[in-house]
């Protein structure tokens, strides 16, 4: 019966994690998956989350099904983080559903759009997170790319991006990374974003903003600039968001899809269609991680503790960027690694070739995504020099 079932080639990111786990070498370093590891090389349990965990367990609350759209307080906290303090005035414009991680939000958004804008195409940055393409193609869309990364300067190809966006047709969907671009770590500045959003607005494209790293580039507020600017312009747009990285709660799959409706009268119908989509996908979202997040964000002192913990994750990454850049510059003086220090968020786009990446893995047990993306958050004082030496050996 299953004779014709094709083998699965494996996922370029999560498949690498499987390989890393199986690697018996003790000096192995995981720079593949986008997970924050602390100085001890462990995924941290944030103190704010640990306290919330104790409170949630002590409460012994029964676990009924959540409403299809998720918990009401969680949804309003998502909106407040994304849209800022004046969220009350925006509530009528926002249809928010709690989702199974950020990927769940992308999937619900993609299905919702495909049902309602079936002749649109989706455009993602070249390059983008690999699964963006998978999720939108899986929902039935043709997925194209717009120019984004400029390999020679290791920066943004703004001109190319604007030219490509200018060719899209009305109601085409444009996937945007508002901060910590995955995989390149190259983000437009405010002026460049204004130019990009001008084109998106003029051509009546549908922005789909995927924010997985709010707080990892500059701050919670600054990293939401694009979202708040789109709202200020009174545009229709979608936002997929996740707490996986910001709360170090990867396995809890806590995400949200938010649709900002320029005409508040349309919000109820949009929310209804999102619920319809969720019911057909996984019925309703899970409770536990949501309860942790609601507990932290509802208590001013826990919230402040969390914000500090997020900030210390961000600054440790910045420190590691600097250390890797210095160590690489010493090990390979003929090359510039300034971009490693300048890029933002969890990732650096090293420019390593597939052959170099393969050699890093086989000879040094350093795991890097085949595109040359490295997760800076996998570095610590104990392994950064080893990684720099390993990279130096394969690029020399």
Binding site for ligand LMR (CB under 6 A): 13, 33-34, 129, 131, 182
Other beta carbons within 10 Å of 377:
25
Closest CA to 255 of 269, 272, 241, 270: 241
For 120, the 3-state DSSP assignment is coil
Give whichever of 260 and 345 is closer to ligand LMR, judged by the CB atom. Answer: 345
* Rounded least distance, CB 345 to ligand LMR, Å: 10
Residue number, nearest CB to ligand LMR: 34
Give whichever of 295 and 361 is closer to ligand LMR, judged by the CB atom. Answer: 361
| Distances 196 to 25, 91, 176 between C-alpha atoms, Å | 46, 26, 10
Catalytic choice (154, 245, 275, 323)? 245
| Distances 165 to 86, 177, 236, 366 between C-alpha atoms, Å | 31, 15, 17, 37
Q: Is 28 considered catalytic here?
A: no
* Rounded least distance, CB 64 to ligand LMR, Å: 29
Q: Is 234 considered catalytic here?
A: no
Q: How far apart are CA 161 and CA 159, in angstroms?
A: 5
Chain centre to alpha carbon of residue 391: 26
Give whichever of 33 and 297 is closer to ligand LMR, judged by the CB atom. Answer: 33
DSSP symbol at 149: E
* Rounded least distance, CB 74 to ligand LMR, Å: 21
Q: How far apart are CA 389 and CA 396, in angstroms?
A: 10
Catalytic choice (210, 223, 275, 323)? 210
Give whichever of 13 and 226 is closer to ligand LMR, judged by the CB atom. Answer: 13
Catalytic choice (129, 157, 172, 275)? 129
Which H/E stretch holds residue 255?
strand 254-260
| Distances 211 to 58, 78, 106, 160, 161 between C-alpha atoms, Å | 32, 12, 11, 23, 19
* Rounded least distance, CB 369 to ligand LMR, Å: 7
Give whichever of 13 and 79 is closer to ligand LMR, judged by the CB atom. Answer: 13
Token pair belonging to 22 = 């199986």
For 367, the 3-state DSSP assignment is strand
Q: How far apart are CA 175 and CA 206, in angstroms?
A: 9
* Rounded least distance, CB 269 to ligand LMR, Å: 31
Integer-rounded Cα Rg, in Å, for the chain is 21
Q: How far apart are CA 260 and CA 274, in angstroms?
A: 13
* Rounded least distance, CB 124 to ligand LMR, Å: 14
Q: Is 306 considered catalytic here?
A: no
Give whichever of 34 and 207 is closer to ligand LMR, judged by the CB atom. Answer: 34
Q: Which residues are catalytic?
A: 129, 210, 245
């Amino acid at each position: 019966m299953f004779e014709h079932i094709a083998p699965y080639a494996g996922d370029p990111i999560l498949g690498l994690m499987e390989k890393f786990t199986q690697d018996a070498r003790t000096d192995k370093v995981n720079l593949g998956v986008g997970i924050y590891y602390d100085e001890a090389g462990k995924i941290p349990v944030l103190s704010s989350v640990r306290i919330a965990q104790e409170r949630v367990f002590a409460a012994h609350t029964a676990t009924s099904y959540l409403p299809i759209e998720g918990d009401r307080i969680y949804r309003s906290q998502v909106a407040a983080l994304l849209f800022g303090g004046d969220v009350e005035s925006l509530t009528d414009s926002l249809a928010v559903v709690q989702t199974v991680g950020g990927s769940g939000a992308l999937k619900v958004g993609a299905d919702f759009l495909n049902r309602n804008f079936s002749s649109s195409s989706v455009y993602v940055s070249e390059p983008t997170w690999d699964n963006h393409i998978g999720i939108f193609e899986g929902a039935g869309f043709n997925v194209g790319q717009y120019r984004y990364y400029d390999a020679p300067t290791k920066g943004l190809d703004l001109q190319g991006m604007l030219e490509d966006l200018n060719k899209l047709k009305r109601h085409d969907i444009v996937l945007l990374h508002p901060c910590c671009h995955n995989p390149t770590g190259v983000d437009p500045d405010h002026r460049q974003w204004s130019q990009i959003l001008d084109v998106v607005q003029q051509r009546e494209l549908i922005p789909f903003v995927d924010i997985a790293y709010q707080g990892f580039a500059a701050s919670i507020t600054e990293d939401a600039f694009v979202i708040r600017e789109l709202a200020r312009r009174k545009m229709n747009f979608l936002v997929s968001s996740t707490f996986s990285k910001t709360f170090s709660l990867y396995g809890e799959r806590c995400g949200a899809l938010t649709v900002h409706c320029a005409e508040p009268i349309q919000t109820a119908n949009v929310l209804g269609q999102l619920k319809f989509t969720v019911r057909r996908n996984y019925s309703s979202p899970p409770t536990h991680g949501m309860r942790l997040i609601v507990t932290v964000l509802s208590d001013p002192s826990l919230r402040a503790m969390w914000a500090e913990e997020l900030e210390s994750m961000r600054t440790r990454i910045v420190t590691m960027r600097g250390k890797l850049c210095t160590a690489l510059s010493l090990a390979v003086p003929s090359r510039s690694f300034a971009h490693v220090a300048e890029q933002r968020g969890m990732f650096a786009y090293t420019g390593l070739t597939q052959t170099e990446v393969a050699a890093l893995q086989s000879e040094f047990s350093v795991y890097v995504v085949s595109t040359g993306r490295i997760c800076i958050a996998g570095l610590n004082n104990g392994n950064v020099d080893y990684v720099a030496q390993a990279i130096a050996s394969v690029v020399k």
